[in-house]
């Protein structure tokens, strides 16, 4: 199988002058090497394509592949993760992971929660603040939790994200609106256990491969999986595979969300419990990171006894089944 690999290489964007936080979601050469090695060991001939600009040039030169292993996150707009899949759809080239509709929806956490709520899945009460005037219209009870509506890797989430006062809500929303130039998601704060659930497969074939509990250490920002906690996870965070009743409920909720949204091949669902232990959907990542050491999905799979090459094989096999 001739497999192209699309990706946004972080070092390339840093060399162009973009900042560390702007490029936090992009891939390292270590990740691309690991995926190339895994695909090659599975008998694939790999072609490293790169970002959407490189893909566009290759397509214009009539280059084609049997499958594209898509990691491209994109840089601008709510549809940035959907850009490469949309282009591949136009040329009828199969690719891994979800389609443009799902990727665009999932990136906007507020719209995703509206669909999740319509599916009858529990999610914390929320409001979307699109401008400063919207802040006064938020009627949710304190404490609250705020974050940018369309960022990953916990960008925009800090110790200040938990809000205890109306004044704090105004201040934090203003900061996020000004910095990220996008709406702010305001949610009722959930104080219970936090999990991320790894899922492999599509539709009825999708299954949870493990439920990982996120436990914050004494040196971590308290109560919240912040950008800094995630960046320094080796010293601030402990990951534990969980298999009790609540963890199994977390897996069930995650699978319902995965299937209800139409996600494909592999990804993660983040959930958190309220103070009564009820599991609530938080957000979904249908284009999860695949760094073999640092990304949550490979860490979770490793804890579950699934090696990195086996994870890549399952993703590729799911995509092949769909394309046929």
Is it the case that residue 250 has pLDDT exceeding 80?
A: yes
Question: H helices then E strands: how many in the chain?
Answer: 13, 12
User: Shortest CA distance to 72 belongs to which of 19, 113, 112, 12?
Assistant: 12
- Strand 2-6 with 45-50, pairing: parallel
Domain that holds residue 174: 125-188
Q: Are residues 81 and 199 in the same domain?
A: no
- Would you state the pLDDT for residue 154? 85
Q: How far is CA 92 from CA 59, 115, 262, 293, in A?
A: 11, 28, 19, 33
Residues 261 and 291 in one domain: yes
* Mean predicted confidence (pLDDT) in 13-31: 94
Q: What is the mean pLDDT of residues 247-256?
A: 98
Q: What CATH code is carried by the domain that includes residue 133? A: 3.30.1490.20
Q: Provide Rg for the chain, Cα atoms.
A: 19
CA angle 102, 230, 154 (to 5 degrees): 40
**Rounded Cα distance, 73 and 94, in Å:** 17
This prediction has a pTM of 0.94
Residue 227 has pLDDT above 80, yes or no: no
- Whether 168 and 234 share a structural domain: no
184-194 average pLDDT score: 97
What pLDDT sits at residue 203?
96
pLDDT tens string 85-138 = 999 999 999 999 999 999 999 999 999 999 999 999 999 999 999 999 999 999
Q: Which of 132-141, 151-160, 253-262 has the lowest mean pLDDT?
A: 151-160
Q: What is the pLDDT of residue 228?
A: 84
Q: Is the same domain home to 184 and 198?
A: no
The answer to the question of residue 80 being in a domain is yes
Percentage of the residues of the chain whose pLDDT score is greater than 70: 100
Split into its structural domains, the chain has a count of 3
268 plus 195 within the same structural domain: yes
177 and 66 co-located in one domain: no
Residue 119 inside a domain? The answer is no
Q: Given 188, 219, 234, which residue is the final one in a domain?
A: 188
């Amino acid at each position: 199988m001739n497999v192209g690999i699309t990706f946004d290489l972080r070092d390339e964007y840093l060399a162009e002058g973009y900042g560390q936080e702007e490029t936090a979601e992009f891939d390292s050469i270590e990740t691309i090497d690991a995926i190339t090695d895994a695909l090659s060991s599975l008998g694939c001939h790999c072609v490293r394509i790169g970002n959407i600009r490189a893909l566009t040039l290759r397509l214009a030169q009539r280059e084609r592949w049997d499958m594209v292993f898509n990691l491209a996150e994109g840089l601008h707009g709510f549809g940035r993760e959907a850009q490469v899949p949309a282009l591949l759809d136009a040329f009828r080239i199969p690719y891994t992971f979800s389609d443009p509709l799902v990727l665009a929806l999932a990136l906007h956490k507020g719209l995703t929660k509206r669909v999740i709520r319509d599916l009858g899945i529990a999610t914390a009460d929320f409001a979307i603040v699109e401008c400063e005037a919207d802040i006064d219209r938020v009627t949710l009870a304190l404490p609250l939790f705020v974050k940018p509506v369309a960022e990953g890797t916990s960008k925009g989430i800090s110790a200040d994200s938990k809000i205890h006062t109306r004044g704090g809500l105004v201040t934090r929303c203003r900061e996020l609106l000004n910095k990220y130039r996008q709406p702010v998601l305001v949610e009722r704060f959930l104080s219970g256990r936090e999990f991320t659930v790894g899922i492999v497969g599509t539709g009825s074939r999708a299954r949870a491969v493990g439920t990982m509990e996120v436990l914050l250490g004494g040196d971590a920002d308290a109560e919240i999986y912040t950008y800094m906690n995630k960046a320094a996870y080796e010293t601030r965070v402990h990951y534990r595979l969980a298999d009790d009743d609540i963890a199994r409920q977390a897996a069930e909720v995650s699978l319902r969300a995965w299937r209800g949204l139409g996600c494909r091949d592999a990804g993660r669902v983040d959930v958190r419990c309220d103070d009564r232990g009820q599991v609530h959907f938080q957000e979904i990542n249908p284009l999860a990171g695949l760094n073999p050491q640092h990304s949550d999905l490979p860490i979770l799979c490793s804890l579950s006894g699934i090696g990195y090459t086996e994870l890549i094989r399952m993703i590729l096999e799911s995509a092949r089944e769909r394309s046929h």
